[in-house]
């Protein structure tokens, strides 16, 4: 009766608000004395008001509002946020606010509320949009850091999957964990060097091309500003602005060559000077984290006396690490975290299983005995 008479979206809404209030309060304590901590404290207060709205919604219909939030869930989430650091925490919070906006927009459209409640929910929706904007603004300060984190995470994931596959495949051939560890170590070192050097070369080449484009735009804007002015107006018109507004923006931007060139670079080439990559830093992040990722599935073979135990521990270690990298990739790409974690673990284990079978086939064909 209870769950049939109250839409599922209401259960999710009140659960999300209580959880958000709890986790924002935790984050505010962590950033105490910091302007960001003050913002999180204010957001936690607003989430508490939203929870009161949903409690009233349930009580108005004759039911006690569910308010229990698992302490284990909050503790786990808080620990993950501590590991992610400030920049990734903001990205994750922005994703949560986006989900809340989608949920509340759907509730408003379903017209499950009376007039007063609908107005109250619109106010909550307005608050969520403000939160999302605040997180986006704060996150932009860590844009450069997030770009390098992306290189690091992708490098670590590559090392994980590669060495998990290599060691599992070698385990199917050899019966000595040390031989597997040695082979995996050689491949891991080579992979880390290759990843670091290729990332450095790629980012450097990309930066050189982008700098060439930016320099050309800056130079030409000094001598043919009237051409760029016309292009600014045309861009604004294509976006749907009136001719009066478009011409006013073009006129204003033409007064500053820097502003004019920045507009053209962003609109026509998608380039911003502050977003140019740093080749050396990107290469170091990718190479070092690739090596770290490679070490995770390799570790059991260095200490375990048997191949079966090494394989099982390697799969367990790598599965946990793949789930972690999957969550980071999801946060960086604004994707569904749980789905990405499952996808990463599943893909890694499938790869390992396939190479193990390949190793066993090679062992039989070549006459190599794997003594377990």
Taking the alpha carbons of 71, 75, 80, 81 in that order, is the dihedral positive or negative? positive
Write down the domain spans for the chain. Answer: 2-141, 145-366
Return the pLDDT at 57.
82
Least confident of 1-15, 285-299, 308-322: 1-15
Q: Are 272 and 266 in contact (CB under 8 A)?
A: yes
Q: What is the mean pLDDT of residues 129-136?
A: 74
pLDDT tens track for 38-76: 888 888 888 888 888 888 888 887 777 766 666 776 776
What band does 372 get if pLDDT is binned at 50, 70 and 90? Answer: very low
pLDDT tens track for 87-117: 666 666 767 767 777 777 777 776 667 778 8
| Ramachandran region, residue 63 (left: φ > 0; alpha: ψ -120 to 50; beta: rest) | beta
Return the pLDDT at 111.
67
pLDDT tens track for 221-250: 777 778 888 888 888 888 888 889 888 888
What band does 4 get if pLDDT is binned at 50, 70 and 90? Answer: very low
Dist. CA 89–CA 317, nearest whole Å = 25
Indicate whether 260 pLDDT > 60: yes
Dist. CA 6–CA 13, nearest whole Å = 12
Q: Are 188 and 163 in contact (CB under 8 A)?
A: yes
Q: What is the mean pLDDT of the chain?
A: 78
Sorted by sequence, the CB contacts under 8 Å of residue 340 that are 6+ apart come out as: 326, 327, 329, 330
Return the pLDDT at 262.
83
Per CATH, is 2-141 categorized as 2.30.40.10? no
Q: What is the mean pLDDT of residues 338-350?
A: 81
| Ramachandran region, residue 62 (left: φ > 0; alpha: ψ -120 to 50; beta: rest) | left
Residue percentage of the chain with pLDDT more than 70: 81
Specify burial of residue 327 (Cβ count, 10 A radius: 0-12, 13-18, 19+). buried
Indicate whether 1 pLDDT > 60: no
Choose between 211 and 77: higher pLDDT: 211
Taking the alpha carbons of 199, 143, 347, 187 in that order, is the dihedral positive or negative? positive
Indicate whether 3 pLDDT > 70: no
């Amino acid at each position: 009766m209870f769950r049939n008479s109250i839409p599922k979206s209401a259960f999710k809404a009140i659960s999300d608000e209580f959880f958000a209030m709890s986790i924002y309060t935790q984050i505010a304590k962590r950033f105490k004395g910091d302007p960001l901590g003050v913002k999180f404290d204010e957001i936690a207060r607003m989430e508490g008001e939203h929870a009161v709205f949903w409690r009233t919604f349930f009580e108005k219909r004759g039911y006690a509002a569910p308010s229990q939030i698992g302490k284990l869930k909050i503790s786990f989430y808080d620990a993950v946020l501590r590991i992610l650091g400030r920049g990734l925490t903001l990205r994750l919070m922005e994703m949560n606010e986006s989900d809340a906006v989608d949920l509340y927009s759907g509730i408003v459209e379903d017209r499950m509320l009376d007039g007063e409640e609908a107005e109250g929910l619109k106010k909550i929706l307005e608050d969520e949009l403000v939160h999302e904007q605040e997180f986006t603004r704060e996150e932009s300060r860590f844009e450069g850091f997030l770009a390098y984190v992306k290189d690091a995470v992708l490098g670590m994931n590559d090392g994980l999957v590669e060495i998990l596959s290599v060691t599992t495949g070698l385990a199917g051939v050899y019966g000595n964990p040390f031989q597997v560890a040695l082979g995996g170590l050689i491949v891991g070192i080579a992979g880390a060097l290759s990843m670091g050097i290729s990332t450095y070369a790629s980012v450097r080449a990309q930066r050189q091309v982008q700098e060439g484009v930016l320099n050309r735009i800056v130079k030409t804007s000094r001598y043919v500003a009237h051409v760029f002015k016309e292009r600014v107006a045309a861009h604004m018109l294509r976006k749907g602005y009136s001719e009066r507004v478009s011409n006013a923006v073009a006129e204003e931007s033409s007064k500053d060559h820097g502003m004019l060139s920045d507009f053209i670079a962003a609109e026509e080439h998608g380039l911003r000077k502050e977003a140019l990559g740093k080749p050396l830093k990107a290469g170091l992040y990718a190479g070092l984290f690739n090596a770290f990722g490679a070490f995770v599935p390799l570790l059991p073979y260095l200490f375990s006396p048997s191949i079966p135990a090494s394989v099982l521990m390697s799969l367990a270690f790598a599965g946990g690490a793949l789930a972690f990298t999957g969550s980071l990739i999801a946060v960086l790409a604004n994707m569904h975290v749980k789905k990405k974690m499952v996808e990463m673990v599943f893909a890694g284990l499938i790869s390992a299983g396939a190479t193990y079978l390949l190793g066993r086939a090679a062992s039989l064909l070549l006459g190599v005995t794997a003594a377990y």
